[in-house]
A and B are shown apart, each in its own frame.
Chain A
Amino acid sequence: MSEPTTPPGSRAFEPAGDLPPLDPHRHEPLDLEGLTLLVGTKKGVFSLTAAAERSSFRLNGPAFLGHIVQHAIVDPRDRRTLLVALRTGHLGPTVFRSTDFGRSWQEASKPPAFAKPKDDRKSNVVEIVFWLTPGHADEPGVWYAGTSPEGLFRSEDAGDTWYPVAGWNDHPNWIRWTGDMKERNPDGSPIHSILIDPRDARHMYFGTGSAGVFESNDQGANWHLLNTGMLSPTGPDPHPEFGYDPHCMTLHPLAPDLLYQQNHCGIYRMRRSEARWIRIGDNMPREVGDIGFPIALHPREPNTAWVFPMDGTDVWPRTCPGGKPAVYRTRDAGESWTRLDRGFPERAWYTVLRQSMAVDTERSIGVYFGTTNGEVWGSTDEGESWRCLAAHLPHVYSVEVASVVR
């Protein structure tokens, strides 16, 4: 009997002979309890559970060993339902759910997938489920997912079944806004920063790396651009209608008309009454610059935010500027910034990605971030001092804070 032919261009196909028995469920329980960090990595999801008033953190996991976990988040409405967006290197993207604090998992019975086009357009295919956002407090069970390529999906049953948001996915300008499929980012071109106005479930925002910021006032039925004031990274026109790259955007829950974003071209703030983005990163030290991925807000102080700058000079190393890691904090909505680096190594060369910085809601706010070299750092004094909470993990894609009730 001949061996199977190896398809051209492929390699290292799994041998056809008998393999040793496999544990089909390669999960270490996450065991979420109380204040917990969820850490999505290139090789699975971990948790860090705080103990003794955050003086120590216990590492659990990984669940989904070997799976690429882009985002893991606990529903803040029930403080129990955990959703994880993942895929492997080659298996299709999907969503898993846990309602027992990360002990057992159920896959979404209908993961995010594009609808077949109604016209002769080529079918779109979800490559990555990149971003998960729990819906409005008045809509329990509603979640949104952003994918690469730029798809928006909604679930009304706590992440079990997902349906395309046709107002975006079938928008007549979709191809114009999302650009040439051949020029997508190496890690995909996702929808991210899906934001729900806490005053109105119908009012939403999201960002894309191809067009910029979008807003909807009717729960996704219609979308318009919100780019005025930003600088475009490419093209001869620095202020085109679209073609901007917000890396991470957030709004303040107590002041929902105040938006911040860490953009490919700087740090911006928008007060809706001003109707334009203001580059508050111009107030950062010139030698550090204002390029980066994440931005996180103080949950009670709308004028306080943290960023983690990266080197955006010449070929864009995207590591800590000068190899000197530092968080920068503003307490005046970006008019001034303070360097916070106590506890960091003198030299380090990692990157902090857009979903990898988060804050808790304790009296003295905890700020946390994960790095591309597999470390998780935390501060329990609002950034004044830092300590490494975990090391030797895989490349970190996301860090979220959960407050779990058992």
Chain B
Amino acid sequence: MQVRIPSVLHSYTAGARTVTANGATVAALLLDLDARYPGIRFRMVNEANALRPHMRVFVNRESISDLDRSLAPEDEVMILHALSGG
């Protein structure tokens, strides 16, 4: 499926804003992303397997917090990143 990548992580995807990755759950998708773009997951997900603050994952435009949320091949996944502070 297609996954939208925020600009703060484009250094991992060689500048690609949308990439292909697969997984039956969001967690599996993030692991697959990391296999394709090494290091990208740890910048988004900490060692306790929680999304880092200000990082958001949308599935079909719905914000999700449960990384075990199941995915279907036609789902649209967007990873977004809040920008705040100076």
Contacts and interface: CB of A to CB of B under 8 A. Distances in A.
Contacts of B15: 21-24
Contacts of A10: 54, 56, 82, 84
B73 to A, nearest CB: 19
Interface string A256-268: 0000000000000
A221 B45 CA distance: 29
A7 interface: yes
A25 interface: yes
B78 to A, nearest CB: 7
Interface in B1-33: 4, 6-11, 13-15, 17
Given A5-B62, A22-B10, A92-B52, A16 B43 contact: no
A109 interface: yes
- Give the most central of A26, A89, A125: most B CB within 10 Å: A89
Interface in B44-77: 44-48, 50, 52-56, 58, 61-63
A274 B78 CA distance: 61
A91 B8 CA distance: 8
Interface size class of B (residues with CB under 8 A): 35 or more
Contacts of B7: 14, 19, 22
A114 interface: yes
A114 B47 contact: yes
Contacts of A113: 42, 46-47
A349 B48 CA distance: 41
A165 to B, nearest CB: 15
Contacts of B50: 125
A100 interface: no
Contact of B82 (A12, A16, A115): A12
A90 B38 contact: no
B48 A123 contact: yes
Contact of B46 (A2, A12, A18, A92): A92
A107 interface: yes
B60 to A, nearest CB: 10
A89 B85 contact: yes
A7 B63 contact: yes
Nearest to B14: A24
A111 B39 CA distance: 9
A125 B56 contact: no
Contacts of B58: 4
B78 A4 contact: yes
A23 B48 CA distance: 31
A24 B14 CA distance: 6
A91 B78 contact: no
A4 B63 contact: yes
A91 B43 contact: yes
Nearest to B38: A109
Contacts of B43: 91-92, 94
A90 B82 contact: yes
A316 interface: no
B8 to A, nearest CB: 6
B81 A25 contact: no
A19 B46 CA distance: 28
A88 B8 contact: yes
A97 to B, nearest CB: 12
B42 A111 contact: yes
Interface of A: 1-5, 7, 10-14, 16, 18-19, 21-26, 88-92, 94, 107-109, 111, 113-116, 123-126
Closest 9 CB pairs of A and B: A123-B48, A113-B47, A90-B54, A24-B15, A10-B82, A91-B43, A125-B46, A24-B11, A92-B43
Given A4-B61, A14-B6, 14 more contacts: A1-B61, A4-B80, A10-B54, A12-B84, A24-B13, A26-B11, A89-B54, A90-B54, A91-B44, A91-B55, A92-B44, A109-B38, A123-B47, A126-B46
14 contacts: A10-B82, A10-B84, A11-B84, A13-B81, A13-B82, A22-B15, A24-B11, A24-B14, A89-B83, A91-B43, A91-B55, A94-B39, A113-B42, A113-B46
